[in-house]
């Protein structure tokens, strides 16, 4: 019997019920994907690194090399990279020094600016999301507010500074206000678009299970809008970082913005260049921070 | 008042856009018994979905009323749970969470927390999705999403289960699988079901009656076909069944010989 059924994967024994219908069975071969050798997987990781890390490093090296060439001859107006590192060495190696007044290390300068951004941006996030939801939910709120917002959002950040100085009579709250007013527009606009774009299906589901107004808001509207809100927050944090550097140049005191202005006044060009690099890196990290938070809050729905 | 379970009485529906009013449905009368499986079939734009949404309470008919157990239907509610065509799962909730949001709302006061949990799991098991309860919708296949949509609707213990082309977006094999699941669940629970479909085989295979709609505008019920096939039905046996073939031919004849789409016969 077993011999007769050689083609089937399971040998049929005598006490098994034999079906009436003719048995037509194909041989089933278990498929085992071969384990990839360790070496190959390591190689793959290495290839990934080469593809992602290497290109920017090469471009950076070429840029530095050309810069070095261009600025090396005597009489060059800007310092070459080698001179920047040599001049600003103290500033680079000790970010924590504090000589009193505004003569502080890079860490303190940047923390001060980041602190201002944190406060102004937090206000902008809360007010912006609230206004965005209002405009998204209510057609009349949109008709009334949207045209005004569209005009106001084009006003450059620094144009608000004199007005806020006049209003607050103090530089610190004025700087916070400039950050607030700069970063709030994209938050409002993206939130309202998000609320408007909630699929009718979700509203239907809410209607069928009879969620109350408040339940619809926090169980449907907010989670459905999270990806849009975080798009707005990302743009907003980038703008507020742009605005704070400019605002600090004008209001003075400790902060990476005024540090640059101060360095220009005392002809420390190398310090300016190092500060620019720091500003760029911090701005990049801020953007990544918001994107990562958004990724987790939206359970991977928001783009990273 | 008569004792019919679910009754559509003189339903008419017009949509107004500016000066133009389009009459979508006119004089729709239909009575459905408890436990009956009825499907609505017709060409696109014949108002099938409109009729289903009126029953679901998502739309209000211009004229006429729908009665469920003698009571007028005038708002959406869990006693008329809907399985939407594109599953409509909330992407930020897990499979479990999508069923639980309905169960917690509908049975929040009548069941304890543990009972609600058991009820969610029971319904996920009914559609064979219990093992995927912690996955999010984007991590499971289209057929699995629709299973969860069915579980969510069943979990509300609706008097009538409404299905709006529930398998339209699925491939043929997955669709057959889900049709079998729905037949099995219907046999087990005895729900009253109203289903919209485009698929003649699906309509005949699943339904006790097939309601055929004429073309819009001003669509109405053209004909109602009783499907006298015994249950449980098996698709393989029915493929060669004479009665099945007759029913199928009747629906095809209605749709393609007598009520083909006139303007868009492309």
Q: Which chain A residues touch B120 with a CB distance below 8 Å?
A: none
Query: Which residues is B164 bridged to in the sheet?
Result: B196
The alpha-carbon gap from B262 to the nearest alpha carbon of chain A, in Å, equals 31
B58 → closest Cβ in A207, A298, A299: A207
CB < 8 Å to B49, chain A: none
**Measured between CB atoms, does A214 come within 8 Å of chain B?**
no
Two structure tokens written together for A138:
């209510």
Provide ipTM, 2 decimals: 0.86
List the single residue in B with minimal CA-CA distance to A215: B105
Tell me the pLDDT of chain B (266 aa) as tens digits: 456 899 999 999 998 888 888 888 989 999 999 999 999 998 887 888 999 999 999 999 999 999 999 899 989 999 999 999 888 899 999 999 999 999 999 999 999 999 999 999 999 998 889 999 999 999 999 889 999 999 999 999 999 999 999 888 788 888 898 899 899 889 988 889 999 998 999 999 999 999 999 987 888 898 899 999 988 898 888 888 999 999 999 999 998 888 776 555 44
Under an 8 A CB cutoff, do A226 and B92 touch?
Answer: yes
B105/A208 touch (CB, cutoff 8 Å), yes or no: no
Contacts of A215 in chain B (CB under 8 A): 105
Using a CB-CB distance cutoff of 8 angstroms, which residues of chain B are in contact with residue A209? 78, 101-102, 105-106, 156
Average pLDDT for chain A: 86
pLDDT in tens, A241-271: 999 888 898 888 889 999 999 999 998 999 9
pLDDT of residue B262: 58
Structure confidence at residue B65 (pLDDT): 92
- Are B88 and A209 inside 8 Å of each other by CB? no
Tell me, what's the pLDDT at B215? 86
Reading phi first (left if > 0) and then psi (alpha if -120 to 50, else beta), residue A257 is in alpha
* Cβ contacts of B263 within 8 Å, gap of 6 or more: none
Of B76, B88, B101, which is closest to A201 when you measure between CB atoms?
B88
Q: By CA distance, what is A201's nearest residue in B?
A: B88
Full-model pTM? 0.76
Say if the Cβ atoms of A299 and B136 lie within 8 Å: yes
Q: Cβ separation of A204 and B57 shorter than 8 Å?
A: no
Low-confidence stretches of chain A (pLDDT < 50) are 1-14, 16-19, 303-304
SS (H, E, C) chain A: CCCCCCCCCCCCCCCCCCCCCCCCCCCCCCCCCCCCCHHHHHHHHHHHHHHHCHHHHHHHHHHHHHHHHHHCCCCCCCCCHHHHHHHCHHHHHCCCCECCCCCECHHHHHHHHHHHHHHHHHHHHHHHHHHHHHHHHCHHHHHHHHHHHHHHCCCCHHHHHHHHHHHHCCHHHHHHHHHHHHHHHHHHHHHHHHHHCCCHHHHHHHHHCCCCHHHHHHHHHHHHHHHHHHHHHHHHHHHHHHHHHHHHHHHCCCCHHHHHHHHHHCCCHHHHHHHHHHHHHHHHHHHHHHHHHHHHHCCCCCCC
Q: How far apart are CA B149 and CA B124, in angstroms?
A: 10
**Chain B: nearest CA to A19, how far in angstroms?**
18
Show the tokens assigned to B74.
Answer: 């005038």
Q: What is the C-alpha separation between A261 and A278, in angstroms, rounded?
A: 15
Chain A: residue whose CA lies nearest to B106: A209
Tens of pLDDT, residue by residue over A52-100, are 888 999 999 999 999 999 988 888 888 999 989 988 888 888 888 888 7
Q: How far is A52 from chain B (nearest CA, A)?
A: 27
Give yes or no for A226 touching B (CB within 8 A). Answer: yes
Please report the pLDDT score of residue A303 as a whole number: 45
Nearest Cα of chain B lies from the Cα of A268 at a distance, in angstroms, of 52
B102 lies within 8 A of chain A by CB = yes
Cβ atoms of A251 and A258 within 8 Å: the answer is yes
């Amino acid at each position: 019997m077993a011999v007769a059924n050689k083609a089937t994967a399971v040998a049929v024994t005598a006490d098994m019920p034999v079906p009436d219908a003719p048995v037509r069975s194909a041989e089933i071969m278990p498929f085992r994907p071969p384990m990839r050798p360790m070496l190959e997987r390591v190689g793959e990781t290495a290839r990934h690194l080469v593809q992602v890390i290497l290109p920017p490093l090469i471009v950076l090296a070429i840029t530095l090399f050309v810069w070095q060439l261009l600025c090396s001859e005597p009489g060059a107006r800007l310092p070459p990279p080698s001179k920047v590192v040599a001049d600003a060495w103290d500033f680079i190696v000790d970010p924590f020094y504090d000589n009193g007044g505004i003569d502080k290390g890079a860490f303190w300068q940047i923390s001060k600016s980041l602190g201002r951004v944190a406060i102004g941006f937090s206000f902008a996030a809360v007010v912006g999301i609230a206004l965005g939801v209002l405009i998204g939910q209510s057609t009349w709120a949109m008709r009334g507010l949207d045209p005004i917002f569209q005009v106001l959002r084009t006003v450059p950040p620094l144009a608000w500074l004199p007005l806020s100085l006049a209003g607050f009579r103090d530089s610190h709250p004025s700087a916070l206000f400039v950050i607030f007013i700069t970063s709030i527009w994209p938050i409002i606009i993206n939130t309202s678009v998000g609320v408007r774009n909630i699929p009718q299906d979700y509203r239907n589901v809410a209607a069928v299970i009879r969620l109350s107004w408040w339940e619809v808001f926090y169980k449907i509207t907010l989670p459905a809008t999270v990806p849009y809100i975080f798009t707005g927050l990302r743009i907003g944090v980038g703008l507020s970082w742009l605005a704070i550097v400019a605002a600090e140049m004008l209001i003075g005191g400790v902060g990476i913005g005024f540090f640059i202005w101060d360095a220009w006044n005392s002809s420390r060009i190398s310090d300016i260049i190092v500060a620019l690099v720091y500003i760029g890196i911090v701005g990049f990290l801020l953007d990544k921070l918001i994107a990562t938070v958004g990724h987790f809050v939206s359970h991977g729905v928001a783009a990273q | 008042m008569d004792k019919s379970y679910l009754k559509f009485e003189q339903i008419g529906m017009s949509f107004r856009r500016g000066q133009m009013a389009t009459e979508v449905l006119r004089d729709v009368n239909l009575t459905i018994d408890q436990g009956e499986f009825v499907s609505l079939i017709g060409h696109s734009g014949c108002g099938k979905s409109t009729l289903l949404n009126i029953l679901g309470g998502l739309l209000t008919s211009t004229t006429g009323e729908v009665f469920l157990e003698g009571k007028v239907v005038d708002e959406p509610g869990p006693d008329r749970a809907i399985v939407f065509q594109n599953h409509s799962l909330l992407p930020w909730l897990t499979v479990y969470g999508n069923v639980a949001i309905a169960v917690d709302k509908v049975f929040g006061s009548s069941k304890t927390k543990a009972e609600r949990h058991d009820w969610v799991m029971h319904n996920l098991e009914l559609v064979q999705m219990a093992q995927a309860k912690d996955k999010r919708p984007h991590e499971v296949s289209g057929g699995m999403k629709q299973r969860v949509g069915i579980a969510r609707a069943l979990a509300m213990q609706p008097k009538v289960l409404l299905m709006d082309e529930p398998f339209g977006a699925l491939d043929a094999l997955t669709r057959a699988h889900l049709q079998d699941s729905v037949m099995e669940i219907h046999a087990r629970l005895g729900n009253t079901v109203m289903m919209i479909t485009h698929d003649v085989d699906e309509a005949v295979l699943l339904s006790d009656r097939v309601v055929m709609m004429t073309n819009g505008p001003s669509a109405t019920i053209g004909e109602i076909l009783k499907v006298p096939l015994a249950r449980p039905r098996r698709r393989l046996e029915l493929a060669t069944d004479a009665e099945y073939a007759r029913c199928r031919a009747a629906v095809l004849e209605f749709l393609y010989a007598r009520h083909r789409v006139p303007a868009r016969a492309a």
